[in-house]
């Protein structure tokens, strides 16, 4: 079985962090976002991952070439981004008779095995994982029969119709036959073009609604990124957290993860809901909470970082307060202003 991961988007809503890296490589609790999807595939016995790359493809290719993924991973590149369906068509040679397709910017505890079984039982050509969220307007909406048969797919509606309370969770099982519906070499969207076309032609498209509570979150914006960090730290997913350094002369307020190679000064406070990446330096008496500090960043003595994302190698001077909602690009620098 093969899992195709769509990782070629521009990640515009996560700028400035995605000026220098693709969204799939954004570190989330000290692991690239892509790690969580590969781990999900691996766990469900999917032996082969295909990454549909476009924007910033070199970095993803280098990540794959660095090995250690515990499964076969290949990249298929689009010269020009072909959209969410065009990317699938472009990877056709790597795909078998039935395959998974996952959006590459989310973390989820979806039971791929159960979804595949449901897909086969229904004889579907496409099965779409669906779930409920508080605000469905930012997602694809699915209207369906009680038995799962999809009636309508509506991408991003400001006023969602009342009978379309489930959203597209960005995970599909597909039959190879659907590739014939996608024109080769053209920009084509699954959400706007492929699904509506299949539904118009009466093709069996089904929704799969996993029973019970299951973790699912996308990492579309900085706000959602920090919410995702929080959920992972709280242990609300099945993904194990990476090892954290034990405090020596500084305070760790759980939940928090501090990479073993970070240097933390005396009396600093890390957490709750904080992540400190490899090679970071946090000065004496500094406070970092509800925040993610990425690899190689520095936080000066007595500085406060709260509710912020600090890009790789950024430097925050002593005594500076970086407040809620701040997103600092890689290598940026902030110093406290001192009048002489
Ligand atoms: N290879 C490739 N080529 N990948 C692409 C392209 C492309 O041209 N365009 C987008 N992608 C990838 C993105 O990198 C992302 O991982 C995924 O496809 C979905 O694109 P987004 O741009 O993140 O879409 P969205 O978040 O607005 O909406 C999608 O996800 C929602 C769930 O998070 C839709 O599928 C919605 O229906 C869904 O509810
Ligand atoms: Mg998205």
Q: Quote the pLDDT of residue 292.
A: 97
pLDDT at 256: 98
Spacing, Cα 170 to ligand 1 middle (Å): 8
Domain regions of the chain by residue span: 2-233, 251-334
Confidence of residue 37 (pLDDT cuts 50, 70, 90): very high
Distance (Å, rounded) from C-alpha 59 to C-alpha 70?
19
Question: Would you place residue 221 in the very low, low, confident or very high pLDDT band (cuts 50, 70, 90)?
Answer: confident
Phi/psi of residue 54, nearest 5 degrees: -150, -85
Tens-place pLDDT, residues 41-77:
999 999 999 999 998 899 999 999 898 788 899 999 9
What does CATH list as the number for 251-334?
A: 2.160.10.10
The Cα–Cα gap between 10 and 299 comes to 29
Distance, CA of 243 to CA of 7 (rounded, Å): 27
Active site residue 89: no
> What is the average pLDDT across 85-106?
97
Cα gap 331→117, rounded to integer Å? 47
Ligand 1 is surrounded, with C-beta below 6 A, by: 6-9, 23, 52, 54, 78, 81-84, 87, 103-106, 139-140, 155, 167-168, 170, 191, 218, 220
**Does residue 25 surpass a pLDDT of 90?**
yes
Pocket probe for ligand 1: among 3, 4, 6, 23, the residue whose CB has the most ligand atoms within 8 Å is 6
Residue bearing the bigger pLDDT, 217 or 69: 217
Looking at the structure, give the CATH architecture of the domain made up of residues 2-233: Alpha-Beta Complex (3.90)
Instruction: Kindly report, residue by residue over 305-315, the tens digit of the pLDDT.
Output: 999 999 999 99
Give me the long-range contacts of 58-67 (CB less than 8 A, separation at least 24): 59/21, 59/22, 59/25, 60/7, 60/22, 60/24, 60/25, 60/34, 63/25, 63/32, 63/34
Cα–Cα distances (Å) from 69 to 35, 94, 104, 218, 239, in that order, read 8, 18, 16, 22, 15
Measure CA of the first residue to CA of the last residue in the chain; give whole Å. 67
pLDDT for the residue 340 = 65
SS3 per-residue string spanning 46-88: CCEEEEEEECEHHHHHHHHHCCCCCCEEEEEECCCCCHHHHHH
Please tell me the pTM assigned to this model: 0.94
d(CA 258, CA 269): 11
Quick check: 70 and 45 in contact, CB under 8 A?
Answer: no
Per-residue tokens: 213:
């509570």
Please tell me the number of the ligand nearest to residue 166's CA: 1
Counting beta carbons within 10 angstroms of the beta carbon of residue 262, is it exposed (0 to 12), middle (13 to 18) or buried (19 or more)? buried
Over the stretch 117-172, which tens digit does the pLDDT of each residue have? 999 999 999 999 999 988 888 899 999 999 999 999 999 888 878 777 899 999 99
């Amino acid at each position: 079985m093969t899992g195709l991961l769509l990782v070629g988007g521009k990640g515009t809503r996560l700028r400035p962090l995605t000026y220098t890296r693709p969204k799939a490589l954004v570190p989330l609790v000290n692991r690239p976002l892509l790690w969580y999807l590969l781990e999900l595939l691996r766990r469900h016995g999917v032996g082969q991952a295909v990454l549909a790359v476009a924007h910033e493809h070199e970095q993803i290719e280098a990540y794959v070439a660095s090995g250690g993924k515990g499964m076969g991973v290949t990249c298929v590149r689009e010269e020009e981004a072909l959209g969410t369906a065009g990317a699938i068509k472009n990877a056709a040679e790597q795909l078998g008779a039935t395959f998974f397709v996952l959006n590459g910017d989310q973390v989820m505890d979806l039971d791929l095995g159960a979804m595949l079984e449901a897909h086969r039982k229904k004889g579907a050509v496409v099965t779409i994982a669906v779930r409920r969220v508080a605000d469905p307007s930012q997602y694809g909406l699915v209207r369906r029969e009680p038995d799962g048969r999809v009636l309508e797919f509506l991408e991003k509606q400001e006023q969602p119709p009342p009978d379309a309370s489930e959203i597209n969770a960005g995970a599909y099982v597909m039959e190879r036959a659907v590739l014939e519906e996608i024109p080769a070499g053209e920009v084509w969207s699954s959400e706007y073009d492929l699904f509506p076309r299949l539904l118009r032609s009466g093709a069996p498209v089904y929704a799969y609604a996993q029973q019970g509570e299951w973790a699912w979150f996308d990492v579309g914006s900085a706000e959602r990124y920090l919410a995702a960090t929080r959920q992972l730290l709280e242990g609300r997913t099945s993904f194990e957290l990476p090892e954290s350094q034990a405090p020596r002369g500084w305070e760790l307020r759980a939940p928090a993860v501090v990479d073993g190679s970070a240097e933390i000064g005396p009396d600093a406070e890390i957490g709750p809901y904080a992540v400190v990446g490899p090679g970071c330096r946090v000065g004496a008496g500094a406070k970092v909470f509800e925040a993610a500090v990425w690899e190689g960043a520095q936080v000066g003595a007595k500085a406060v970082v709260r509710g912020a994302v600090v890009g790789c190698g950024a430097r925050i001077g002593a005594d500076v307060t970086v407040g809620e909602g701040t997103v600092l690009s890689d290598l940026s620098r902030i110093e406290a202003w001192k009048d002489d």
